[in-house]
Structure 1
Amino acid sequence: MGLSLLALSVQTVTDRTSNPFGLRPPFDRTGADDRTAVFGYGDANADFHVIGDHPGVHGGKRTGVPFTETEAGLAIQTALRDVDRPFVTGPRERPELDNCYWSYLHMCCVPDGHQPTEQGYADLERYFDAELRAINAHILLPVGERATDHVLREYTTQRRRVDLDMASLHAGDLRGRGFMVVPIRDPTTWEHGDRAALVDKLTAVLESDYRQTKGVATRVG
């Protein structure tokens, strides 16, 4: 499905929580009984878009829902539940999301013990890009170094100005002309205070006039 069709269909699929745009993975490297991909999940009209790496890191190979199952995925989910106006309610394996959308750079699953290839990330980039633009969130929250690097490199002009030190970037903000990026350190490396810093940052953003930044229709920086 191309970008133009995604943009046209966004208003007609918002009642679908999982894979609202009907994406079809371009390849399958899993066994016959394994899940092919973990698709985007949540509110397709969300202002906040949380971007993970792949199902093996941030979860969903069993549930089909991003940010479930794994320690890292559940840590993100818990932080989003703890915000003053929670983004997440309901059961952990099939949560209800309000004003929040979750997706991965690499939605396709790979066999246990394997990592996605660089070619795999490249093959899936256009799918991620089309979905990100269709969601058109105000706030992008990339989780981990790869997702943060990708968002800053592809959707802003900030990457060359920023040292990709996730401990320093965590729960801060990088502003462009169209939206705000709030990088999140991967939870497997969180230290004391990192979860609270993220919760506090999201609470502060919700209390601000964040809608003054809008959209990713063009490159920003």
Structure 2
Amino acid sequence: MQNVTDRTSNPFGLEPPFDRSDPDDRPAVFGYGDANADFHVIGDYPGVHGGESTGIPFTETESGHAIQDVLRAVGFASGPRDEPVLENCFLSYIHMCSLPDGDVPTDEDYATLERFFDAELRAINAHILLPVGARATDHVLREYTTQRRRFDLEMDELHATDIRGRGFLVVPIKDPVEWYDDDREAIISQLEAILDSDYRQTKGVATTVG
């Protein structure tokens, strides 16, 4: 496979259209990891899943650390928590820009940044999309599958399942702050099962079925 790029952070040089961050925060938390990855983990925004200080998705917060622990368990991540080394895995947010403490993105904010997220997702061109939380899952199912209408957005039921999309296999992940019982083990087991399969055939299968 030809390398897309060797850059780890913001590999395609995206420039967010606004900066509303607090003075000590990064203006945006760009996509990070292996730009040639087969697995793309998709979070919501920095205030939820972390990175406002580090500039790296899925750091700093409870949810971020829990997702990172799953990636370490299946061999995608190693090294320090605040700057992990990723292999075959890429991390990004549907809303990359940092906001003042306590603020949440509006629907208009998400819409403004959607084209940046979409451009990066298509450039990475991963086989497996792993949206984390209800907002990211809703967006991925609406935009990259034809099956959103078939599902209520019940993350307890969608967690660690596989859904065929338009050229992708989507595996939703419930936000870790809502995990209980065996939710952590369920997503680890699902990822291990995918890794043990011929998952690189997923894109062709998903295109046919989705």
Q: Could you say which TM-score interval applies, normalised by the shorter chain?
A: over 0.9
1:17 to 8, 19, 42: 8
Question: Could you say what secondary structure the match of 1:150 adopts?
Answer: helix
Aligned partners of 1:157 and 1:220 also within 8 Å: no
Aligned partners of 1:155 and 1:219 also within 8 Å: no
What's the offset of the Cα at 1:34?
2.8
What's the offset of the Cα at 1:206?
0.2
1:137 corresponds to 2:126: yes
In structure 1, how many angstroms separate the alpha carbons of the residues matched to 2:118 and 2:100? Answer: 24
Counterpart residue identity of residue 181, structure 1: V
What's the offset of the Cα at 1:179?
1.8
Q: Which residue of 2 aligns with 1:58?
A: 49
Structure 1 alignment gaps of length 5 or more: 1-9
1:89 corresponds to 2:78: yes
Aligned partners of 1:59 and 1:73 also within 8 Å: yes
Q: Which residue of 1 aligns with 2:153?
A: 164
Q: Which residue of 2 aligns with 1:5?
A: none
Aligned partners of 1:48 and 1:101 also within 8 Å: yes
Q: Which residue of 2 aligns with 1:6?
A: none
Aligned partners of 1:171 and 1:184 also within 8 Å: yes
Mapping for residues 108-119 of structure 1, pairs under 5 Å:
108-119=97-108
In structure 2, how many angstroms separate the alpha carbons of the residues matched to 1:162 and 1:58? Answer: 24
Aligned partners of 2:144 and 2:165 also within 8 Å: no
Q: Which residue of 1 aligns with 2:95?
A: 106
User: Could you report, residue by residue, the CA deviation over 1:148-173 in whole angstroms, capped at 9, with x for unpaired residues?
Assistant: 00000011101001111100110010
- Pairs aligned (count): 207
Q: Which residue of 1 aligns with 2:34?
A: 43
What's the offset of the Cα at 1:32?
4.1
User: Could you report, residue by residue, the CA deviation over 1:77-121 in whole angstroms, capped at 9, with x for unpaired residues?
Assistant: 0011112xx000000000000000000000000001111111110
What's the offset of the Cα at 1:11?
4.6
User: Could you report, residue by residue, the CA deviation over 1:170-201 in whole angstroms, capped at 9, with x for unpaired residues?
Assistant: 00100135220000000010011000001110
1:197 to 183, 186, 205: 186
In structure 2, how many angstroms separate the alpha carbons of the residues matched to 1:16 and 1:176? Answer: 28
2:111 to 105, 122, 141: 122
Q: Which residue of 1 aligns with 2:68?
A: 77
Q: What percentage of aligned pairs have identical amino acids?
A: 71
In structure 2, how many angstroms separate the alpha carbons of the residues matched to 1:192 and 1:56? Answer: 26
Q: Please give the root-mean-square deviation of Cα atoms over the aligned residues, in Å.
A: 1.7
Counterpart residue identity of residue 110, structure 1: L
Aligned partners of 1:177 and 1:213 also within 8 Å: no
Counterpart residue identity of residue 89, structure 1: S
1:185 to 174, 180, 186: 174
Aligned partners of 2:77 and 2:84 also within 8 Å: yes
Runs of 4+ in 1 over 6 A off after TM superposition: none
Aligned partners of 1:156 and 1:220 also within 8 Å: no
